[in-house]
Chains A and B, each alone.
Chain A
């Protein structure tokens, strides 16, 4: 059974479109995250939710909107996609908040904006 899953795995779209990425975890964790990995492999946190409550919101354009319908799901919606949004987006989860809990990562969603 996959612990942290993301859909879709690949996403190719045109500039200006709106797209969503979904994440689900079956580990019983209470905290979930979205990370962005750029072309140089640099990994940066975007958002974190604990028990459906937003606890980390880094300096991310407001075109990005996370949504957590329950503890096991964290989705990411992106409006008006730009070329610079092309990256790999990773979902992760942990028990407890991110400073100390081991985070488990999904396989990533590779987004290409044309």
Chain B
């Protein structure tokens, strides 16, 4: 079964600074990887996803993520953070032909200082 780890529970950055949120997954075959964002009091919104092909994927709101098979990682990045990016970020891993479910990491809370 697949699993995912987000090592950072809480990250604080200043507005305008760059951001990298870490995600490590465990799965024997090629995973399906997702990043979701949850603003306070809201549901989850998909930022980006990786299924195959180019390992650098672009998402909404200026986010990107890079799939690195050798490191079992799918880190989320943004070059310049805005105050509105403050939210909870979830990495998730799915699999084809295996467990028919999406497994979420425990989330990373992002605080943005003015």
- Does A66 touch B at the CB level, under 8 Å? no
Chain A residues touching B, majority SS: loop
Report the Cα distance A64→B98, complex, angstroms: 25
Binds B, one of A11-19, A70-78, A79-87, A95-103: A95-103
Interface size on A, residues (CB 8 A): 24
Note all chain A residues with C-beta closer than 8 A to B94: 98-101
* Contact A98/B102 with A90-B43, A105-B44, A107-B43 known, Cβ cut-off 8 Å: yes
B contact residues vs A (CB 8 Å cutoff): 32, 34, 36, 38, 42-46, 49, 51, 88, 90, 94-102, 104, 106-107, 109
- Does A45 touch B at the CB level, under 8 Å? yes
Note all chain B residues with C-beta closer than 8 A to A105: 36, 43-45
Is the pair B106, A99 in contact by a Cβ cutoff of 8 Å?
Answer: no
Report the Cα distance A55→B100, complex, angstroms: 8
Question: 20 pairs across A/B with beta carbons < 8 Å?
Answer: A4-B43, A40-B106, A41-B38, A42-B107, A43-B104, A44-B104, A45-B102, A48-B101, A56-B101, A90-B44, A98-B102, A99-B94, A99-B100, A99-B102, A102-B34, A102-B49, A103-B46, A103-B102, A107-B42, A108-B43
Is the pair B101, A99 in contact by a Cβ cutoff of 8 Å?
Answer: yes
Within the complex, the shortest CB–CB distance from B76 to chain A, in Å, comes to 16
Note all chain A residues with C-beta closer than 8 A to B99: 99
Note all chain B residues with C-beta closer than 8 A to A92: 44
Within the complex, the shortest CB–CB distance from B40 to chain A, in Å, comes to 11
Q: List the 10 closest pairs (A to B, CB-CB), nearest first.
A: A105-B43, A105-B44, A99-B94, A97-B100, A43-B104, A107-B43, A98-B101, A100-B32, A99-B95, A41-B107
Q: Given contacts A42-B104, A48-B100, list 6 more A-B pairs with CB under 8 A.
A: A41-B88, A55-B100, A99-B99, A99-B102, A100-B96, A103-B102
Note all chain B residues with C-beta closer than 8 A to A101: 94
Note all chain B residues with C-beta closer than 8 A to A99: 32, 94-102
